[in-house]
Amino acid sequence: MGLLFAAGAQAQDVRIGVLNDRSGIYADLSGEGSVVAARMAVEDFDAEAKGINVTITSADHQNKPDVAATLARQWFDQDNVDLIVDVPTSSAALAVAEITREKNKVFINSGAGTTELTGAQCSPNTVHWTYDTWALANGTGGAMVETGADTWFFLTADYAFGHALESDTRALVEGAGGQVLGQVRHPFPGQDFSSFLLQAQSSGAQVIGLANAGGDTVNAIKQAAEFGITQAGQSLAGLLIFITDVHALGLEAAQGLVLTESFYWDLNDGTREWSDRFAERMSGQKPTMVHAGVYSGVLHYLKAIEATGDDSDGAAVVAAMKEMPTSDPLFGEGEIRADGRKLHDMYLFRVKAPGDSEGPWDYYELVSTIPAASAFKPMEGGGCALVE
């Protein structure tokens, strides 16, 4: 019977490449966890029974665009990879998007934040799944002003990414009626932020926006606690920070920090059930939104493959993905816009005080939900050529 079925349905070979950081600064928030998430998606979809043979490979791009580009090229040219997922670090993501378009394959990005992926450098082969910097700025900037915190000071990493993060957030803060009292540009990467924090403190702003990432953000938060800045009543707002960063900081230093994410393991029964299964395979680590995005993206890709029955034309697969509404237990119902932007709710969280936490990974309390319709940058004026 099984034999008959296999003969009846034409077997499809699908190769998925998980390309991310396995040794560097984003290894904890993407890394092996993304491979596990992709594998779980394949299992939950029950691909084999549906006649789709999925092979998953993975590699370390070291957060370097040239390494990412080389690996992506090699995967497409030599190893017949059909889909690349994850790819944190904006520069690496943009490089992979470019190659995916050239080779007409599919790229589902979960780990990177740049809005360029669905803006000026958008592509018919790319879907940007989990979050982007505009959505984070919108959640943290816009939603915070609405809660009454309307004077801001920015601590900005002095390079293109930091500037973009700052200017996006600034526009949203001012648009919501808030006021920006000043900003300071710190060298990247920075080690000591005390001097900049002191300048932020003397500005008297209610919110200090951290327009930086990774180790810089962690150091800035650590030192803000040391200099008593949060205790004195100013709030810190992380514009790009993940639950793994909070885990590394410890609640003592991170408490009170406000941040935006598109996923938290403890949101509802669906996320809890999946996250428990994930944690079992990852020796207790809860998933980040990047892991969740990889799961959800791969699941939707497989649905599109099942519907079209053909994985050879990447642009056609992405077009089919855009036609079908998305649905999974992690992000709920959603859709993919013409420019490749996946839409879902975003959430504004505040980090709990150590006393309110019930144990490891119990870190966030929900402040507000930003509905999908207003969570992402409007398509008009985004600069994407796919949008007429």
Partner 1 sequence: MFELLGIPPQALFGQLLLGLINGSFYAILSLGLAVIFGLLNIINFAHGAQYMMGAFLAWMLLHYLGIGYWWALILVPVIVGAFGVVIERLMLSRLYKLDHLYGLLLTFGIALIIQGLFRNAYGISGMPYSIPSQLAGGQNLGFMFLPNYRAWVVVFSLVVCLGTWFMIEKTRLGAYLRAATENPTLVGAFGINVPRMITLTYGFGVALAALAGVLAAPVYSVNPNMGADLIIVVFAVVVIGGMGSILGAIITGFGLGLVEGLTRVFYPEASSVVIFVIMAIVLLVKPAGLFGRA
Partner 2 sequence: MTDKTLDTATPRGGMPPLHRAIFVGLLVVFAVAPFVLYPVFLMKILCFALFACAFNLLLGYGGLLSFGHAAYFGGASYVSAHAAKVWGLTPELSVLCGTAAAALLGLVIGSFAIRRQGIYFAMITLAFAQMVFFFSLQAPFTGGEDGIQAIPRRALFGVFNISSDINFYYFVLAVVFAGLLLIYRIIHSPFGQVLKAIRESEPRAISLGYRVNSYKLALFVLSAALAGLAGATKALVFQLASLTDVHWSMSGEVVLMALLGGMNTIFGPIAGAAVVVTMQNYFASFGAWVTVLQGVIFVLGVLLFRQGIVGVIARWLKRPL
List of residues contacting partner 1 (CB under 8 A) = 23-25, 27-28, 158, 184-187, 189-192, 194-196, 198-199, 201-202, 215, 218-219, 222-223, 226-228, 232, 244-245, 247-250, 252-253
Pick between residue 186 and residue 341 the one whose CB is nearest to partner 1.
186
Residue 95 is a binding residue for partner 2 (CB under 8 A): yes
Q: Select from 1, 2, 4, 78 the one that contacts partner 2 (CB under 8 A).
A: 78
Residue 236 is a binding residue for partner 2 (CB under 8 A): no
Sequence letter at residue 166: E
The partner in contact with residue 161, picked from partner 2, partner 1, none with C-beta cut-offs of 5 to 8 angstroms by kind, is partner 2
Minimum distance of partner 2 from residue 164's CB (angstroms)? 9
Minimum distance of partner 2 from residue 173's CB (angstroms)? 23
Could you give the residue ranges of the DSSP H alpha helices within the chain? 2-8, 31-45, 65-78, 90-103, 133-137, 143-146, 160-175, 194-203, 214-226, 243-249, 251-254, 269-281, 289-308, 314-323, 372-375
Name, in order, each residue with C-beta under 8 angstroms of 163's C-beta and a sequence gap of 6 or more.
156, 211
Residue in 189, 214, 219, 220 with CA at minimum distance from that of residue 27: 214
Minimum distance of partner 2 from residue 196's CB (angstroms)? 16
Chain centre distance of CA 334 = 16
Binding mask 162-201 for partner 2 (x = CB under 8 A): -x-----------------------xx-------------
Q: Select from 98, 132, 168, 328 the one that contacts partner 2 (CB under 8 A).
A: 98
Enumerate residues 288-347 that contact partner 2 by CB under 8 A: none
Check: CB of residue 26 under 8 Å from CB of residue 272. Answer: no
Given the structure tokens 């470019």, which residue do they identify?
A: 98
Chain centre distance of CA 291 = 9
Query: Angle at Cα 52 formed by Cα 3 and Cα 265, nearest 5°?
Result: 125
Pick between residue 285 and residue 296 the one whose CB is nearest to partner 2.
285
Pick between residue 161 and residue 193 the one whose CB is nearest to partner 2.
161
Q: What is the DSSP annotation of 150-219?
A: -EEEEEEESSHHHHHHHHHHHHHHHHTT-EEEEEEEEPSS-S--HHHHHHHHHHT-SEEEEE--HHHHHH
Please give the Cα distance from 367 to 224 (Å, whole number).
Answer: 22
Please give the Cα distance from 322 to 277 (Å, whole number).
Answer: 29
Minimum distance of partner 2 from residue 132's CB (angstroms)? 14
The partner in contact with residue 244, picked from partner 1, partner 2, none with C-beta cut-offs of 5 to 8 angstroms by kind, is partner 1
Query: Angle at Cα 240 formed by Cα 258 and Cα 128, nearest 5°?
Result: 125
Minimum distance of partner 2 from residue 287's CB (angstroms)? 21
Please give the Cα distance from 227 to 110 (Å, whole number).
Answer: 35
Residue 22 is a binding residue for partner 2 (CB under 8 A): yes
Binding mask 29-58 for partner 2 (x = CB under 8 A): -----------------------------x
Residue 234 is a binding residue for partner 2 (CB under 8 A): no
Binding site for partner 2 (CB under 8 A): 22-23, 27, 58-60, 62, 64-67, 69-71, 73-74, 77-78, 89-91, 94-95, 98, 114, 116, 121, 158-161, 163, 187-188
